[in-house]
Structure 1
Amino acid sequence: MRHLAHALCISLSAALVSLPAAAQNVSQQFQSWLQNDLWPDARARGISEATFNAALGKVKPMLDLPDLVMPGETAKPPRIQHQAEFGAPANYFAEKIVSGVTAGGRNRAGQLKSALASIEQRFGVPGGILLAVWGRESGFGRANIPHNAFAVLSTKAFMARRKEMFRKEVLAALEMVQRGHVTVAEMKSSWAGALGQPQFLPTSYLQHAYDADGDGRADIWTSQVDTLASIANYLANHGWVKGRDWGFEVAVPDSISCALEGPDHGMRIADWAKMGVKRTNGRPFPDHEARQDGFLLMPAGRSGPAFIVTPNFYVLKAYNESDLYALFVGHSADRITYGDRAFAASWSPTERMLRADIAAMQRSLEKQGYDVGGADGLPGFRTRRSIGEWQAKDGRKPTCFPDTRIINALK
């Protein structure tokens, strides 16, 4: 422990030379937290002093990361939305982005045909889905992932809005090094702390990373087959149903309320069809799907494409808790597997709104008794259908998506 304390003091002294007073105070608190709070927890988990010191002895807090809460302040939803997955649907599905993933996926589907078939046989997850996740997460391993993972994770564990979650992640990252899965130098991450080609958080690596090539290491940094098998293992462990699709684009008649959206409003797909929901390609729903439950998804309300999705769609959301992300993966997988066909319906332009304004709207709806899923500034399915229910009650035509008129009316 003396060596650790000595290293932390040296790094702290060097860091303080050029920092403004406020940042110096945060840095001092951060270093104290590392030594007096995080280290005892790490030691209790079997992390050696050498590992802890190598990973965190020279780390400084990254104060430019988004969604931080300075010591002594109260966490609030950020004013601006930083994550594309929770932004405007039309931007997320820009054709240049989708076609890049699908073209790259089709190319690799041929190159990795045997490996993909073997992985699908073992885990039950189709190759198109695996390629789409891989392409979206890291551009098939080509994306620049530049940050020191220990700096990112420890900063977030100290002062992020979800610091308890990130505390688990930095401890898991230390465990990865302690077990010999990876070196400290190899621990590069995104600004959110995600690692390698599948962009796993450390806890996900420990639970789901898979050694498919049999070399004794689950290598999500340089091995393509380990990357794909690890994604498949993750989805299988989260409940992927073998043999079911992820979903189907549909046309929803005006007689069906957009407020029926959500995984808790499911019914047999055949019953949705009886109500007038039809696939946009003109084909009937497959018999094996029609007999099972499906769920209405309208990620932009009445301002974009609509879908009947299966439980596998929500397994994709376990990878990234965003309707747009899961839809992107499913749609890209279809284009990789069946041909490059865009959505039949288009995304209407949606207004650019501050996350803080959406949160204020959610709080107003909550006061009226609506379940919006929490005032987090993110228009998830509970918020979308609450908007539709409020619009119908107020004599408005339900659109099930926020806009400035709704926000102003609910102030």
Structure 2
Amino acid sequence: MRRSLLVPVLVLSGCATPPRPLPQAPAPVVAAPAASQAAVPAAQPSIAPPTASGDMIFDAWASEFQGRALAAGVDPDVLRREMAGLSPDPRVAALDSRQPEFSKPIGDYLRGVVTADRQTIGQRRAASVAEFGAIEQRFGVPREILLGVWALESGFGSLQGDNDVLRSLATLAAQGRRRAWAEGEMIAALKIIQSGEHPRARLKGSWAGAMGQTQFIPTTFLSTAVDQDGDGRRDIWGSAPDALASAANLLAKAGWARGQSWAREVTVPAGFDFSLTEGPQETPDWWAQKGVRRADGQVWSAADATAKAQFIAPAGAGGPLFLVFPNHFAIRQYNNSIAYALGVGLLADRIGGAPPLSRPWPAETPLALVDRMTAQRALAALGFDPGAPDGVVGMGTRKALREWQKARGLTADGYLSPDMVRRLKAEADAKPATAP
């Protein structure tokens, strides 16, 4: 599971996550595994760094970090060697602090992800990796899904990133915004080096610390990476079988259900209650009672018929609609983003020979950061809590918007369009100020 940074997409975030590398970039952002969120041990006596970077903030952090690394089991000689000459990477600092001015509409993002070229390459790779059968049998994850992950994470292994992961993580830790996470990942990277499995020179990846063909952060490498080709080491950089099996292991650990769909495109009747979007998880039969039908007219498989599915409308009521199954949420353990999971799944479907969606993605207008924050502030002022006004249209914002839309007799799909921004701002501006 990695932390990579997808081009920001409106109505895609499930929750705030550390950034992802630009695949082609998050988050990472597959959500980080529990190990990466663990509390960093209390500071212990440190060993003085042999050299200083000249950056007082970075050097002060480095001196304190060494005690925590020693307490976490990093060998003093390894720590001394790898910290020698370590300095912050200004490119990482700039990327971490950058907030995009415009959010890319989900339809635009998916049109760029699910392409004919990727479909063709995926189908060719499906036939060229001999270990796919063994990986599927071992972990239960279809090769098409793994090809979708491989494509989005690194362009089928061609875009892995060339940053020194240790330096990138040190830069993020010293900045302080995500210190506990970055230090945990840095300690994991040091333990990979200490184990002798890979030298530091091999730990190359994204500016946010994700590594290899399947962009694993170091804690996930330690807990989840697999030696599929049997050469005695887990090589997610140079071995496609190892990288793909490692991704399959991650998805299996996240709860991938053998034989179940990840999602199905559906249709709904006129007057459908869109406030059910991202709400209950019920069987297809329950949804059928609400008028929800498969868009292809087929019946549900036995495995899907008993599974709990959630209804989503990622581009609003006017775009493609889906029932998503537990496997959709397993994909989101890789990157907790609706857009990412749809990208992986829809590309996998096309690689497997499925036709395009029956309803095309609508034309959408990118929303500026100020518009997204204006909408969030307006929702809060009107009594609908979207969370912090950070410009990220995540679960909290979509939920608050659906509640406001339903209260105003609008289609409650939670989709933040320019028209919704204008309506919210006008209503909030017209609201009488409350006395102090």
When normalised by structure 2's length, the TM-score is 0.80
Q: Which residue of 2 aligns with 1:233?
A: 249
The one-letter amino acid paired with 1:293 is K
Structure 2 unaligned runs (5+)?
1-43, 429-436
| Cα shift at 1:3 | 12
Matched residue of 2:420: which SS?
helix
Q: Does 1:108 align with 2:134?
A: no
| Cα shift at 1:192 | 1.8
Q: Which residue of 2 aligns with 1:92?
A: 109
Q: Does 1:42 align with 2:57?
A: no
| Cα shift at 1:45 | 1.9
Matched residue of 1:154: which SS?
helix
| Cα shift at 1:95 | 5.1
Matched residue of 2:285: which SS?
helix
Q: Which residue of 2 aligns with 1:330?
A: 345
Indicate how the Cα distance of structure 1 residues 105 and 6 shifts in structure 2: closer, same or farther if over 3 A, else same: same
| Cα shift at 1:368 | 4.6
| Cα shift at 1:373 | 6.2
Q: Which residue of 1 aligns with 2:224?
A: 208
Distance 1:376 1:244 in 2: 36
Query: Where do residues 140-155 of structure 1 align in structure 2 (5 Å cutoff)?
Result: 140-155=156-171
Q: Does 1:186 align with 2:202?
A: yes
Q: Does 1:80 align with 2:100?
A: yes
Query: Where do residues 332-371 of structure 1 align in structure 2 (5 Å cutoff)?
Result: 332-339=347-354, 341-355=355-369, 357-366=371-380, 368-370=382-384
Matched residue of 1:94: which SS?
helix
Distance 2:193 2:95 in 1: 27
Distance 1:388 1:271 in 2: 22
| Cα shift at 1:383 | 2.7
Residue pair 2:266, 2:323 contacting (<8 A) in 1 also: yes
Indicate how the Cα distance of structure 1 residues 147 and 177 shifts in structure 2: closer, same or farther if over 3 A, else same: same
Tell me which moved more, 371-380 or 273-282: 371-380
Q: Aligned pair count?
A: 381
| Cα shift at 1:329 | 0.7
> Which deviations, in whole Å up to 9, do the C-alpha atoms of 1:98-145 show, x marking residues without a partner?
333322211111112x41111111111111111110111011111151
Q: Which residue of 2 aligns with 1:128?
A: 144
Matched residue of 1:313: which SS?
helix
Q: Which residue of 1 aligns with 2:414?
A: 400
Q: 2:405 aligns with which of 377, 391, 396?
A: 391
| Cα shift at 1:178 | 1.0
The one-letter amino acid paired with 2:326 is P
Residue pair 1:259, 1:386 contacting (<8 A) in 2 also: no
| Cα shift at 1:5 | 3.4
Tell me which moved more, 369-378 or 265-274: 369-378
Using CA pairs below 8 Å that are at least 6 residues apart, which structure has the higher relative contact order? 2
| Cα shift at 1:164 | 1.9
The one-letter amino acid paired with 1:383 is T
Q: Which residue of 2 aligns with 1:314?
A: 329
Q: Does 1:29 align with 2:57?
A: yes
The one-letter amino acid paired with 1:311 is P
Tell me which moved more, 216-225 or 40-49: 40-49
The one-letter amino acid paired with 2:84 is G
Distance 1:68 1:216 in 2: 36
The one-letter amino acid paired with 1:140 is F
The one-letter amino acid paired with 1:274 is Q
Residue pair 2:403, 2:412 contacting (<8 A) in 1 also: yes
> Which deviations, in whole Å up to 9, do the C-alpha atoms of 1:3-49 show, x marking residues without a partner?
9635323xx2xxx5xxxxxxxxxx211012111x2111111122123
Residue pair 1:261, 1:296 contacting (<8 A) in 2 also: yes
Q: Higher helix share goes to which structure?
A: 1
Distance 1:356 1:238 in 2: 36
Residue pair 1:90, 1:348 contacting (<8 A) in 2 also: yes
Indicate how the Cα distance of structure 1 residues 373 and 332 shifts in structure 2: closer, same or farther if over 3 A, else same: farther
Residue pair 2:214, 2:236 contacting (<8 A) in 1 also: yes
Distance 2:305 2:388 in 1: 33
Residue pair 1:152, 1:193 contacting (<8 A) in 2 also: yes
Indicate how the Cα distance of structure 1 residues 366 and 91 shifts in structure 2: closer, same or farther if over 3 A, else same: same
Indicate how the Cα distance of structure 1 residues 350 and 402 shifts in structure 2: closer, same or farther if over 3 A, else same: same
| Cα shift at 1:237 | 0.9
Structure 1 unaligned runs (5+)?
17-26, 70-77
Distance 2:46 2:255 in 1: 45
The percentage of aligned residue pairs carrying the same residue is 33
Q: Which residue of 2 aligns with 1:21?
A: none
Matched residue of 2:264: which SS?
strand
| Cα shift at 1:274 | 2.5
Residue pair 1:251, 1:279 contacting (<8 A) in 2 also: yes
Residue pair 1:140, 1:197 contacting (<8 A) in 2 also: yes
Q: 1:255 aligns with which of 258, 265, 271?
A: 271
Indicate how the Cα distance of structure 1 residues 186 and 351 shifts in structure 2: closer, same or farther if over 3 A, else same: same
Q: 2:320 aligns with which of 292, 295, 305?
A: 305
Distance 1:81 1:164 in 2: 28
